[in-house]
């Protein structure tokens, strides 16, 4: 699931900082995998004596963990780098050093180009190399400049990272698979994250156990193509995602398991079956379909048709009738006609998604679609996106509205905005507000849903008026 909004990643741990602690500012763009990576970087830097700050002008080290998926996402990085350059020179006047690092997918895709465009950058750190951050920082302190580290190293970065530190929340991400071999013609991920790699089951069970010991109750397994997971199992043979979920479900104290993002081609019978059988596996599935017209799907190299997709979700709904489906959709792919776009709208209406992310096609350098004939004018893309979003929003309102009057088990995560209120998630990933005792954080409590708002539900915990 892609998020272009930047989210400052700074929640100081609550520990009193030692007076001489170095400060790191981390800003995260892009998908959940970047959120996971930022957390791991933060933990690694904590071991080096860094404390997180959300004030870039206080930071001895500023890291932008970047996203290359659409042009807008990538360009935001350069405006932020302009601001960091000014902060760096202001701090230098006060005798303070500021190291600027660009990590993540823009780093991987653009490499040297970043230091050419933004010479204030000290380190360009590809998405497969961040476990080397401490060593690279010490090289910078030793006088080296403008380091660019974007190789796909042989060693497993996950093994080289320190153990997970204290969990910050009731929910956590766990990267189980990285990279993608699907090569959809619009997408940079196979270039920025490399070929598919699945982490071994034992390492994941271990990491999940540690998270649970530290208070996590809901884990979302992450992978660019997560249902293609095929990590080494305890017997040395490859294990499927369904097998991994089965192993994780055995962890006492772990209440909920989710996974994202899946490709329709890798939605195996065993995984569908797991939705019917495994109580801890939540009834929510993010399954991008991208476009409703078969000729567009073929040009995208999706290797499925609209009918395949509809048949697949019918099978999934037979296994788990209440499952909430979400999806990703692109409008204005090269060659998309009005009729093709209508096919996308028709599919959205038929599939009844609980939620959907929709995007204007953005040509990405180096991808096949960027040079295809029939690029769609911006104005047409904008109109199509607006029309699509109306249909999506209506579906979203319908789905949330249908929950009013129902009892939903809510995992409470944190205090809400109003005094006495907690906020949590339903099994379908909806935000739910209810008045409740803070002692209920981390527990699943039945809530009677009383109202559906624009982005959330609200209700009363059962047994209370």
Task: Give the shortest CB-358-to-ligand F3S separation in angstroms.
Answer: 15
Q: Which of 23, 68, 320, 360 binds ligand F3S (CB under 6 A)?
A: 68
| Closer by beta carbon to ligand SAH, 377 or else 463 | 377
| Closer by beta carbon to ligand SF4, 48 or else 294 | 294
Q: Judge if the upstream peptide bond of residue 243 is cis by omega within 30 degrees of 0.
A: no
Structure tokens at 451: 């109202």
Residues 375-434 within binding reach of ligand F3S (CB under 6 A): none
Buried b (16+ CB within 10 A) or exposed e, 327-339: bbbbbbbbbbeee
- Coil vs helix vs strand at 172: strand
Task: Give the shortest CB-183-to-ligand SF4 separation in angstroms.
Answer: 6
Question: How far apart are alpha carbons 108 and 233 in whole angstroms?
Answer: 30
The partner in contact with residue 164, picked from ligand SAH, ligand SF4, ligand F3S, none with C-beta cut-offs of 5 to 8 angstroms by kind, is none
Task: Give the shortest CB-65-to-ligand F3S separation in angstroms.
Answer: 8
Task: Give the shortest CB-90-to-ligand F3S separation in angstroms.
Answer: 30
Closest CA to 442 of 217, 252, 248: 217
State the alpha helices, DSSP H only, in 171-240.
Answer: 189-192, 201-213
Q: Is 33 in the site for ligand F3S (CB under 6 A)?
A: yes
Is residue 254 a contact partner of residue 224, using CB atoms and an 8 Å limit? no
| Residues in binding contact with ligand SF4, number by CB under 6 A | 10
The partner in contact with residue 333, picked from ligand SAH, ligand F3S, ligand SF4, none with C-beta cut-offs of 5 to 8 angstroms by kind, is none
Is residue 236 a contact partner of residue 251, using CB atoms and an 8 Å limit? no
Is residue 345 a contact partner of residue 389, using CB atoms and an 8 Å limit? no
| Closer by beta carbon to ligand SAH, 196 or else 207 | 196
Residues 209-248 within binding reach of ligand SF4 (CB under 6 A): 224-225
The partner in contact with residue 68, picked from ligand F3S, ligand SAH, ligand SF4, none with C-beta cut-offs of 5 to 8 angstroms by kind, is ligand F3S
Q: Which of 35, 114, 118, 180 binds ligand SF4 (CB under 6 A)?
A: 180
Q: Which stretch binds ligand F3S (CB under 6 A): 66-74, 314-322, 366-374, 375-383?
A: 66-74
Question: How far apart are alpha carbons 32 and 174 in whole angstroms?
Answer: 9
Secondary structure (H, E, C), 391-455: HHHHHHHHHHHCCCCCEEEEEEEEECCCCCEEEEECCCCCEEEEECCHHHCCCEEEEEEEEECCC
Q: Is 189 in the site for ligand SF4 (CB under 6 A)?
A: yes
Question: How far apart are alpha carbons 76 and 186 in whole angstroms?
Answer: 20
Q: Is 182 in the site for ligand SF4 (CB under 6 A)?
A: yes
Residues that bind ligand SF4 (CB under 6 A): 180, 182-184, 187, 189-190, 224-225, 263
Residues that bind ligand F3S (CB under 6 A): 2, 30-31, 33-34, 67-69, 104-105, 188-189, 192-193, 224
């Amino acid at each position: 699931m892609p998020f272009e909004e930047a989210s400052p990643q700074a929640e100081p741990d609550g520990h009193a900082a030692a007076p001489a602690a170095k400060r790191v500012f981390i800003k995260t763009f892009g998908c959940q995998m970047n959120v996971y990576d930022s957390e791991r970087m933060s933990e690694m830097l904590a071991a080096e004596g860094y404390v997180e700050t959300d004030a870039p002008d206080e930071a001895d080290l500023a890291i932008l963990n970047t996203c290359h998926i659409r042009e807008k996402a990538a360009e935001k990085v350069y405006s932020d780098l302009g601001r960091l350059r000014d902060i760096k020179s202001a701090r230098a006047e006060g005798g303070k050093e500021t190291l600027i690092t660009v990590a993540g997918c823009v780093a991987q895709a653009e490499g040297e180009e970043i230091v050419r465009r933004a010479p204030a950058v000290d380190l360009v750190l590809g998405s497969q190399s961040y476990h080397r951050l401490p060593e690279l920082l010490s090289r910078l302190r030793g006088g080296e400049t403008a380091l660019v580290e974007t190789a796909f190293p042989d060693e497993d970065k996950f093994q080289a990272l320190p153990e997970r530190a204290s969990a910050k929340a009731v929910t956590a991400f766990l990267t189980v698979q990285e990279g993608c071999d699907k090569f959809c013609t619009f997408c940079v991920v196979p270039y920025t994250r490399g070929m598919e790699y699945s982490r071994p089951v034992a390492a994941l069970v271990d990491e999940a156990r540690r998270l649970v010991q530290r208070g996590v109750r809901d884990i979302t397994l992450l992978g660019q193509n997560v249902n293609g997971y095929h990590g080494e199992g305890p017997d040395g043979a490859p294990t499927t995602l369904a097998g991994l979920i089965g192993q994780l479900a055995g962890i006492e104290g772990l209440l909920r398991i989710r996974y994202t993002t899946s490709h329709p081609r890798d939605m195996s019978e065993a995984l569908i079956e797991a939705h019917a059988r495994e109580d801890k596996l939540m009834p929510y599935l993010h399954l991008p379909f991208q476009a409703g017209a078969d000729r567009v799907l073929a040009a995208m190299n999706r290797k499925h048709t609209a009918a395949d997709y509809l048949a697949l979700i019918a099978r999934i709904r037979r296994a788990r009738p209440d499952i909430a489906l979400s999806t990703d959709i692109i409008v204005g792919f090269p060659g998309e006609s009005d009729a093709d776009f209508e096919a996308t709208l028709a599919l959205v209406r038929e599939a009844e998604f609980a939620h959907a992310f929709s995007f204007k096609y953005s040509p990405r350098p180096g991808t096949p679609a960027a040079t295809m004939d029939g690029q769609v004018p911006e104005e047409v893309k904008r109109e199509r996106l607006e029309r699509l979003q109306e249909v999506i929003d209506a579906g979203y309102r319908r789905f949330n509205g249908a929950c009013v009057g129902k009892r939903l088990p809510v995992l409470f995560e944190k205090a809400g905005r109003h005094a006495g209120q907690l906020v949590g998630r339903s099994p379908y990933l909806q935000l739910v507000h209810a008045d409740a005792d803070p002692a209920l954080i981390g527990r699943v409590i039945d809530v009677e849903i009383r109202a559906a708002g624009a982005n959330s539900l609200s209700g009363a915990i059962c047994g209370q008026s």
